[in-house]
Amino acid sequence: MKEQLIELFTRLIRYDTTSDAESEEYPSTEAQNFYAEVLAGELSRIGVKDIAIDRYGYVTGCVKGNAEGDTIGFISHMDTSPDCSGCGIEPMIIENYDGKTIKRKGPELSPEEFKELKLYKGKTLICSDGTTLLGADDKAGITEIITALGYIINHPEIKHGDIKVAFTPDEEIGRGVDYFDADKFGCDYAYTVDGGIAGEISYENFNAARAKIDITGKSVHPGSAKGLMVNASLVACELNSALPADEIPSKTDGYEGFFHLTRLSGNVERAHLDYIIRDFDKKKFEEKKALIKNAVEDINKKYGSNTAVLELYDEYYNMAEIIKNKPHVLERAVKAIEKTGIEPLVEPIRGGTDGARLSFMGLPCPNIFTGGHNFHGPYEFICVESMEKAVESIINIVSI
């Protein structure tokens, strides 16, 4: 299985499927439509039935059950994050990792900086050459699902109900299930395979919102600007300073939420800020949204109405609200991971998955691990032995 995983994964990551938040198309990039065809071909190759690609780029298929049992789905996303280039990925395969710094064309991977590397001495690691991300988020999940389904199909002694699979576009830009038909998918429950370290299971995630703020200033000659000029870029800085300085990603962890400034652009006449707002606690989440509304209102009181214009909208909610009423879904995954011989790690996701929105669409959908680390950047890497455990976990989930 190890060689099979390496071959399939390193082949699938070479397709550039970066999503585009500025696009008005769905999927946001034509490359994802092409990739959907590639994945449909992979599913056909291993014997999955009822394979379909709908008008929105969703790839679905089914492994027919050979016994009575729940209908269970497995879901991973096709796109990679626009935070880092996914074009021209050149994987490096490090057999029997020696625990030392990995030298690459791009920035090195050091166990002093990324302490998780120390867990994998003697294991097989895969990373990019450092000039791109790796694409394990979430092509590792896709690879593991395909490998697990192929194994199940080739081993009819494994008894299971119907197994459904779905590969989705545009998860990284928050649109992954905008057009997904959960009823048509037809599962009792499902699991996204989109997590990190081996053993990880997550059924809690952030409540999430996005804020976009446009600021209009007043540009006059700087030599005669006193009492007249309103510098939109400085107003943007002032607005940002009104938010809590310690509630940012680099200063929070665990169940702490944050404001994350993802984009800042501007000149004297106009400026623009983009934020993502996150919190596990619904009350604190609403307080954060109120805080950014108040900051905009204060700017308008000081500089005039419509100096700052806010667009604020919710993206997804904490799926714990749904999963807590379906404890057997979580318990099944815990038992499945225990059967592989590793310790289940039930941890909150400091982010979101397609499963968060799917859970509120009537499809309970916790998240399980892929074995990857440092997603969304050139420091991303994955342990192949952890990928094997993910495949085992998927097999165990359907066969328990």
Q: Among all residues, which ones are annotated catalytic?
A: 79, 171
Q: According to DSSP H, which parts of the chain are helical?
A: 2-12, 30-46, 136-154, 182-185, 232-241, 282-303, 320-323, 327-338, 354-360, 384-399
| Neighbouring residues of 135: CB distance < 8 A, sequence distance ≥ 6 | 12, 13, 17, 80, 86, 89, 128, 380
User: Is 337 in a helix, a strand, or coil?
Assistant: helix
User: Phi and psi at residue 184, in whole multiples of 5°?
Assistant: -65, -35
What is the DSSP code (8-state) at residue 197?
A: S
Burial 127-138 (b: 16+ CB within 10 A, else e): bbebbbbbbbbb
What is the DSSP code (8-state) at residue 17?
A: -
Q: How far is CA 344 from CA 47, 59, 351, in A?
A: 31, 29, 19
Identify the helix (H) or strand (E) that includes residue 304. Answer: none
| Neighbouring residues of 224: CB distance < 8 A, sequence distance ≥ 6 | none
